[in-house]
Amino acid sequence: MFGSGSKQGPTEEQVIAALSTVNDPEIHRDLVSLGMVRDIVIDGGAVRFTVVLTTPACPLKQTIEDDCRAAVGAIPGVGSVRVDWDAQVPRDNRLTSQLNVGVRNAIAVGSGKGGVGKSSVAVNLAVALARQGASVGLMDADVYGPNVPMMMGVEGERPVSRDGKRIEPIEAHGVKMISIGFLVDAKTPLVWRGPMLHGAIRQFLGDVNWGDLDYLIIDLPPGTGDVQLSLTQAIPLTGAVIVTTPQAVSKADVVKSIAMFQLEQIDVPVLGVIENMSGFVAPDTGTVYDIFGRGGGPEVAEQMGIAFLGEVPIDPAMRICGDAGQPMLLAHPESPASIALDAIAHKLAAAVSVMNLNRPKPRNFQADPDLAIMG
Ligand SMILES: Nc1ncnc2c1ncn2[C@@H]1O[C@H](COP(=O)(O)OP(=O)(O)OP(=O)(O)O)[C@@H](O)[C@H]1O
Ligand SMILES: [Mg+2]
């Protein structure tokens, strides 16, 4: 695994010992014991090595680089230090071992309440993670009101099957997608009975040729009903993020949906809360108006003991982008809403890595046998 040292320079053991003192700032464990150091090459006083990040969306790359340089640079005889980068997203082992799919992590975006911006957040998080270098899928689990095709600008597309067995996802903006909206006429009202719903969600996982995905983002319909239950029974979700607006009534619904994910028989870790539609900055005066109140997200997060991932302001461009099929993050990357969404994607990726690497207890999950043989 490691190259050999030379007489004039430091030894490989010295380099490893130095890097053992560098902690990943989010996982709070050292790079060597996390297996993040690879390909050490020592050529006289020149040392180079590869750091394998736990997500390409790592916001703290610079800190890691600075710490590595300082640690290795302090070894006597070291003249130069070069850090190369690679990334490998840790797998949620329950997903990959129990189901025959190449999806490393499945993250649901939910809320107790409708219209708080779940789909907008899900779409932009998927695009942000893809832009940061991850392979990303987006599953539109809102079988009653699928919005992903419109928001991603692929309305009217029809997926095909190349092998007659699995459906090829539709791809746009670097993200692979599936939605009931691709499979049925948008004008047909859908009446789902429990078993059909369960079947559809299972097919979205097992019958779609996702390939290897770092993250599958799942846009849930509002509420704490059948779809959420079906989903959690069909797949061991890596985690859920909850979207809320700042006002009190939304907060109450959020508490309810967090509690649903935390129910013993569901047991999906809630990775954090996102507050959407927080404040409106008047473009003419710059005055901030707290249209839906303020601070609901952080309050709920604190009350429930989970992380607060960030707040996304109200920006009319977000609605316009959604309707036009142009994700906000790509159309207006410099807007405060896009910057917030990008930062939230970084935090989410970090939270997933931390959880997978520090997984405390195996979850009591029985894979659906039908799903296990699919894909
Ligand atoms: N930060 C924001 N600023 C302005 N408009 C927003 C923002 N977030 C979402 N919207 C708009 O609000 C509306 C509802 O958003 P969205 O469809 O994402 O919510 P949802 O929670 O998925 O709704 P549903 O419960 O119906 O699935 C959309 O028109 C969307 O463009
Ligand atoms: Mg939605």
pLDDT tens digits, residue range 52-99? 999 987 878 999 999 999 999 999 999 999 999 999 998 887 776 666
Structural domains present in the chain:
12-87 (3.30.300.130), 93-373 (3.40.50.300)
Give yes or no for residue 141 CB within 6 A of ligand 1: no
Task: Give the number of the atom of ligand 1 that is nearest the alpha carbon of residue 219.
Answer: 22
- Taking the centre of ligand 1 as the mean of its atom positions, its distance from the CA of residue 116, in whole angstroms, is 6
CA-closest residue to ligand 1 atom 30: 319
pLDDT in tens, 145-170: 899 999 999 999 999 999 988 999 99
Cβ within 8 Å of residue 212, ≥6 positions away: 102, 104, 135
pLDDT in tens, 288-347: 788 777 778 888 899 889 999 999 999 999 999 999 999 999 999 999 999 999 999 999
Residue 21 confidence class, pLDDT cut points 50, 70, 90: very high
Cβ atoms within 10 Å of 51's Cβ, excluding its own:
22
Cβ within 8 Å of residue 357, ≥6 positions away: 27, 29, 34, 54, 90
Q: Taking the CA atoms of 143, 144, 148 and 149 in sequence, report the sign of the dihedral they define.
A: positive
Give the three-state DSSP class for 331.
Answer: helix
Task: Give the number of the atom of ligand 1 that is nearest the alpha carbon of residue 312.
Answer: 1
Distance of CA 209 to the CA centre of its chain: 19
